[in-house]
Structure 1
């Protein structure tokens, strides 16, 4: 009887093992089937459909309780989201896969995942984070998969170039070339080195690299078009006597055949620049083609560049439409970038919070049931929004300050002092009050949002008033744009004989002084003078230029003029170019400012 029971137990055990193995095999077949379908659509570049099957793979992996399949699924989901340009979500899923690959000690796949994370951090401008991840990538790859290692050096090179560390960038690109076994990759890295030499204005060296690239027999059509376009552009910058127009036209022709629309935006822009001094009609023709292509592809930066070209080449009556569009686009671009940065910051924050809560749940599961996990989520998100807004806007102010370092020392000091004072006086209390309200549950969300909106508008105003100045041959058009910006139904601004003094021929320092002085006057007019009419008259006598500002506003109270920092700054600026300035103030009858300087 015992033998019979033992035999029966053995038979049941064998049946159970066979059923379990069969179920496991069925689950593996189902996962592999989804994997094959995902690869099929990936090869056809149907990334949206491929993403659907990557998600189905994840469902199967979770059903199978298979950690390896789960890690692979997270990685594939992230890959297709990156290809679809949903980089913030891709970042989240790469992190999920990174954690599992680390647990499984799969150093090769972990290295690949870290590389993808470093690329995304670089795309969002987090260069220090990107560099750290790239260094970890090299550690975990440990000499394996040389093309990934080369691509990692290339990422380090890109980060260095974007931070103006040109020598470091060249070193990293050369390291990528040295280790890479992929001809296409090597050509890309050489192209990157040439572009660094272009930034350094070492045009002969850049030209040699591009000419060598054109000799490559295996160069792809799109790469060839990019090299031809870059080569012709550098020859133009180098004032080459060669006829490089054919290179521009050939690059554009290849891009048209290849449907490389983003490449065509660059080609049309370069052709417009080529004809700018030779044939204004053709230059305008290509500028408009660039505008139309950028608009079609929703390439905002290209569209803004195209509008700037069109505005210079068009008549003032036609240019005003494009100018108004550029103002709207620049504001929109800033809003889009702020939202993009906020969304990315939120993804990172939520992932970190998710990992913290998982750890907390494992260690304190018996004591804490995570009842209040989501209680303050909305306020936390608003706080993040406020931090991101402030960080972005403070970065803008910082960037303006860096640009001011290249200008005259006295103007730099006055500008930095004014910005610091406005940040303290206008924003300090508002920021503190907004943060206090966020931390106090009694305040309504709408009130907090209104405070943040106010902070944004105040900071945007500070940023606009300290923007960079376009100098050179296009300065007169740029100055007229300043005047147009302050011209309104409430206050008309009249220009008299502006063309007679030829502002575009002034040197850079004098152009900056002219722009800053009148910007100060227009800001004062808008804020304080209550003027309805402003006349800006110009006169050139021998080698001396006289510019006169007259308004019909309220003027200043007696002796109050010397207390105005903005007007004191004007005097400092005029003295820096050996000029003179004179203020004539009549209370309730307006203000007249005259300044003279040598041409």
Structure 2
């Protein structure tokens, strides 16, 4: 059907209405419909369109070809008189042409159609005459496919069988069957000829080779197409044979088998199967099949009449259809224009909506970044408050040492210095030693005071925040923890964005451990390797299969965060052992 639709589109796109190209295209569509579908009315319509154009171009070969196609359709639909008329007209047109290879070949096909038509009309002598004309033409054509010659020979044998001239029929069938390669080249055709040969023997009361020939033909047919058309005929012939021999069981078996296959076709072969069963069966079953035969026969006759009437209507309605096609073409043009406008407008609207959504997404990301910054600033503010209290306490101790203890020691040193007026050698020596010792104490206290007054915790704020997070979370989750960090990491050089993402990933990992792992211990460590911060979190939980586990929202967020900081994440887990999450984030 795709090939037919493609050719039909080409016909509609042709700019010259009555051109040879359009005639050929209509003819090709008719051929495809006739040979590949059951849509005979569509085939007839396109043949008729081609015929009209060929006639306007005075192309006799084209007209003859379309008349042959129409005659074939009419033959298949049992409109034998119309088929005969069109076939004769086609032959007359071809006789006016130079007798080239393709003209002679076309004539041979038309003669073959006339032979089949007259056989169906039971005018067997006329049928033989036309089949022999077809065979003579084919044999005189050099290089023609031998299968076409074999087809004519089989048709002649079939007509002689109907004439009850069985010996002549057998001679024609034997001519075909002598070809030893035929069973390999055309097994389905070989089985058909073999069945015709066997049935001719049956009709001539020669049963020596029966039913073996039938079985051989059936076996070949079933090997090619078990539900094919040839299987119906062979099964019917076997049913006739066994019924004639009085073997009712076998006759019923093959008759029902023929009926079952012919149900797929719903044509004359089903009709023959029902009639055969009405003869083989007895009582109410015979009446049932006869009733089915009558009903189907009426249905087929009505269908044939309906199709013939449809063919007639096609000819009368063509002009109206052409006018409607012109109108439809105009409507399609406007529809195409409107469709293009709608598509362009829709595309523009789509771009606007996409741009708006993109702007919303950017604003959301910006808001998220601002929120992250605010969170981090709040954490820093909290840490600064702690550091400020710690600094004030150190300052208080420093002032106490400096103003209190150091002052008193300084006073004592002055007192001792004033006593140094004694001239006693021992007193002088003793006082000197005390004074030196006091001065040493004074220097030590001054040094301690100076060191206490120095803000030595600068840069350690983020680690304190992480410690607070770990302590709070593990306490809430009833987990033991071990936290280690590398002092070589300069957190002041790490961006706030990266710190926030690290903080959130630790938080999410602890939450996952509590929710899924059933762990009792978690180990967290920070290390610095080649300017890359390596965070490792290991638990002793139940573990899971990393390849089969579904990624929840939390895990997806972790992957998204690690992508934001150009880092990597690696999750390794083993059932009943635990899980290790390794995160690497470059410092720059």
Q: TM-score normalised to the size of structure 2?
A: 0.49
Report which of the two structures shows the higher radius of gyration computed on alpha carbons: 2
TM-score (normalised: structure 1)? 0.48
